[in-house]
Amino acid sequence: MAVERTLSIVKPDAVGKNVIGEIYSRFESAGLQVVAAKMLRLSEELAGGFYAEHRERPFFPALIGFMTSGPVMVQVLEGENAIAKNRELMGATNPKDAEPGTIRADFAESIDANAVHGSDSAASAEREIAYFFAASDVCGRS
């Protein structure tokens, strides 16, 4: 299986609950390594550009309002099958539908405040990693 990189965000609700470390533990237990990370507050412009594919959706204003409501932790995860593995660890978008034991089932409150983001394809991962990190910021170990 190929070693991949994916972009992960611990969203403002989970940062506010002080569970960054617990979420990182899930990545590490699943064999994913954190190879770049930073905490920041997203501006409306930065959040809007990140979620540009959803700009015309009715939930877009709520999504941007939520993503700018507090600091986020942004990281690049590296490992075998990292993109799909991270999506599996996250669980479904709506925590009500998320499998028990997933990050969203355990830490998320609602479809808006849903704890984490993860790239959904190789193309998204490439775009999203470059959106937040210079190539020289990523300390790959593979």
Q: Is 117 a catalytic residue?
A: yes
85 labeled binding residue:
no
Query: Residue 27 corresponds to which tokens in the numbers above?
Result: 């990545």
Minimum separation from the CB atom of position 131 to ligand RTP (A): 13
- Residues 76, 118, 128, 129: which binds ligand RTP (CB under 6 A)? 118
SS3 116: strand
Minimum separation from the CB atom of position 12 to ligand RTP (A): 11
**Cα torsion at 95, 1, 134, 43 (round to 10°)?**
-10
- CB closer to Mg ion out of 112 and 120: 120
Q: Does 117 bind ligand RTP (CB under 6 A)?
A: yes
Residue nearest to Mg ion (CB): 120
Largest alpha-carbon pair distance within the chain?
41
Backbone angles phi and psi of 86, in degrees to 5? -65, -40
At 130, which amino acid appears? A
Could you list the residues that contact Mg ion (CB under 5 A)?
Answer: 120
